[in-house]
């Protein structure tokens, strides 16, 4: 708020007169006589012994309060936390031991499974090899039988062909003799001649 200079000049002398009027009786704000103003009581050397006494009493009471009330509670909280931490550490160690045992059991089962898988694979390979060998023997037996049949058929065909060749040779020889010599030869002579040539 702005105060004009004229108002400030008017109000200043009034304040001086009221101050002068009250200066001899009491202090304007506190109601304490003006001559009572001296040293601030906490800094007054005359009150030091009582201040030290009350300081010692207050410190003693505060110390007893800390020792009997606060410290047991803080100690109890610390003990509870220590117990909880130790229980948590014990539980963590137990869980770690269980986890290690589970990992060891898993690794053992995995090793056994690998061993079983290897033996099963070897057994399967052996069984497949035996089956393949049996199949090969069966095929070889069938081929031998077919080969024997084919050879028998070939020899019979050869024998039949040889008989026919003999007959054809005899007929051809008879035709050649007739063409060349103009006469007929006996069948026995022609057969003997063909046999002597073929033999």
Q: Of all residues in the chain, what percent carry a pLDDT higher than 70?
A: 78
Burial call 73-108: b when 16+ CB within 10 Å, e when fewer? eeeeeeeeeeeeeeeeeeeeeeeeeeeeeeeeeeee
Q: Output the pLDDT for position 21.
A: 43
pLDDT at 31: 55
Q: Establish if 101 belongs to a structural domain.
A: yes
191 pLDDT band, cuts 50/70/90, is confident
Residue 85 to residue 92: CA distance in whole angstroms:
10
Query: Structurally, how many domains does the chain consist of?
Result: 1
Give the residue numbers spanning the domain of 76.
47-165
- Both tokens of 111, joined, read 């090793």
The more confident residue out of 14 and 65 is 65
**Per-residue model confidence (pLDDT) at position 58:** 96
Q: Is residue 135 part of a domain?
A: yes
- pLDDT greater than 80 at residue 198: no
Tens of pLDDT, residue by residue over 81-136, are: 999 999 999 999 999 999 999 999 999 999 999 989 988 988 999 999 999 999 99
User: What letter does residue 25 receive in the DSSP assignment?
Assistant: T
Is residue 1 assigned to a domain? Answer: no
pLDDT in tens, 140-172: 999 999 889 888 888 888 877 777 777 777 777
34 contacts: CB under 8 Å, gap ≥ 6: 23, 24, 26, 27
Whether 183 maps to a domain, the answer reads no
Residue 24 lies in a domain: no
User: Which pLDDT score is estimated for 195?
Assistant: 73
Q: Is position 160 within any domain?
A: yes
Helix-then-strand count for the chain, H and E: 4, 0
Q: Confidence class of residue 23 from pLDDT cuts 50, 70 and 90? A: very low
pLDDT-based confidence at residue 19 (cuts at 50, 70, 90): very low
Residue 53 lies in a domain: yes
- 17 pLDDT above the threshold of 50: no
Alpha carbon distance 193, 183 (integer Å)? 16
Q: Is residue 35 part of a domain?
A: no
């Amino acid at each position: 708020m702005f105060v004009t200079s004229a108002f400030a000049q008017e109000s200043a002398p009034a304040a001086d007169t009221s101050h002068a009027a009250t200066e001899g009786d009491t202090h304007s704000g506190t109601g304490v006589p003006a001559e009572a103003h001296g040293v601030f009581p906490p800094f007054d050397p005359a009150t030091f012994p009582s201040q030290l006494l009350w300081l010692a009493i207050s410190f003693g009471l505060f110390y007893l309060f800390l020792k009997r009330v606060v410290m047991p509670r803080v100690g109890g909280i610390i003990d509870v936390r220590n117990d909880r931490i130790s229980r948590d550490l014990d539980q963590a160690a137990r869980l770690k031991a269980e986890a290690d045992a589970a990992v060891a059991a898993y690794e053992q089962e995995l090793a056994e499974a690998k061993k079983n898988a290897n033996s099963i694979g070897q057994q399967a390979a052996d069984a497949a090899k035996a089956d393949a060998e049996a199949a090969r023997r069966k095929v070889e037996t069938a081929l031998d039988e077919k080969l024997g049949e084919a050879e028998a058929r070939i020899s019979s065909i050869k024998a039949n062909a040889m008989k026919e060749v003999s007959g054809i040779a005899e007929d051809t020889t008879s035709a050649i003799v007739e063409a060349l010599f103009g006469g007929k030869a006996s069948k026995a002579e022609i057969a003997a001649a063909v046999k002597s040539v073929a033999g």
